Amino acid sequence: MPILGANAQTQSQSNMSSQTSSVLKLANTNVPIDIPLHKGYENGNEIYFIATDVSDKNTASLLTNKSDFKVNYAPILSQTPESAKGQVFVFTNGISGNGSLGFQNEVMNAKPGDKNYSPLLQLNLVKWNDNVNISEIKSVGQLNQSLQNNELTVNKTDIVVNHPVIKWNGGSLMIREDKNITDETPYGGGQVIDLDTEKMIVTMVAHRGWGPDGSTVYYIVTDAAPKMPADMMGVPFVEADSQLVGKGAVDLFQ
């Protein structure tokens, strides 16, 4: 079967949306799932993303505890080719906020539609130096200027996080017209059922699959390559996804 490069996430029954019955029947082909949104910045604009997987166990636990949503420990992400990675900057001090470590929101280097966009991001830790004027950073350009001014330091880690972007300046993942999710729900037509940036929740279609041991798992689709299936599913075409084929990091098969 041809491999469809895509960003997929498996989840257990406990994360499934309350729109389903209290006891999920694992035979269901499609079910809704509520996923917490995180806010960051990209090129001076707000950007909303989800956290699904990370290559580092401690970081996975940290993100799970922060969002009360299971973020998978996925060491295979460390095999992501350099050319298929984006960059995310996480602040370790400075202005208090809703970032992963309790300070300002993360800064990303690209958004869907940009040639260099990838949901798989190398994690960079940003620390403000002592005795400097601290301000909120909302773009990589601002960050680089502060770095040149010796106002902060950036520590590039080997941790890779899976942070698919759901809503960005000028766009979002396609929102389904048909909100009723059944076993007959078609694969195409959009993967998002509802998107609420006030409550910071996105409800997506979780599709049934099978784990390596034959157990039932569910996955979501947030981006894909090539362009034709991406358009059919209502997700962004991400050129970086095609670089993951044969690297052990593609987890959706068609």
Task: Look up residue 23 and give its DSSP letter.
Answer: S
Higher pLDDT: 17 or 245? It is 245
Which whole number is the average pLDDT over 73-91?
A: 96
- Provide the pLDDT for residue 209: 86
- According to DSSP, the residues that pair with 47 across neighbouring strands are 40
Distance from C-alpha of 214 to C-alpha of 21, rounded to nearest angstrom: 24
Which whole number is the average pLDDT over 90-118?
A: 97
Q: How is 185-242 classified by DSSP, letter by letter?
A: --S-S-SEEEEETTTTEEEEEEEEEE-TTS-EEEEEEEEEESHHHHHHHT--B-GGGG
Q: Is 28 helix (H, G, I), strand (E, B) or coil?
A: coil
Task: Look up residue 26 and give its DSSP letter.
Answer: T
Phi, psi of 117 (to 5 degrees): -75, 135
**Would the pLDDT of 253 be above 60?**
no
- Provide the pLDDT for residue 212: 83
Which whole number is the average pLDDT over 28-46?
A: 96
**Would the pLDDT of 106 be above 60?**
yes
**Would the pLDDT of 245 be above 60?**
yes
Distance from C-alpha of 186 to C-alpha of 181, rounded to nearest angstrom: 9
pLDDT band at 158 (very low <50, low <70, confident <90, very high): very high
- Kindly report the pTM of this predicted structure: 0.89
Q: How is 143-192 classified by DSSP, letter by letter?
A: HHHHHHTTSEEEEEEEEEEE--EEEETTEESPBPS-----TT--S-S-SE
Residue 16 tokens read as 């499934």
**Would the pLDDT of 7 be above 90?**
no
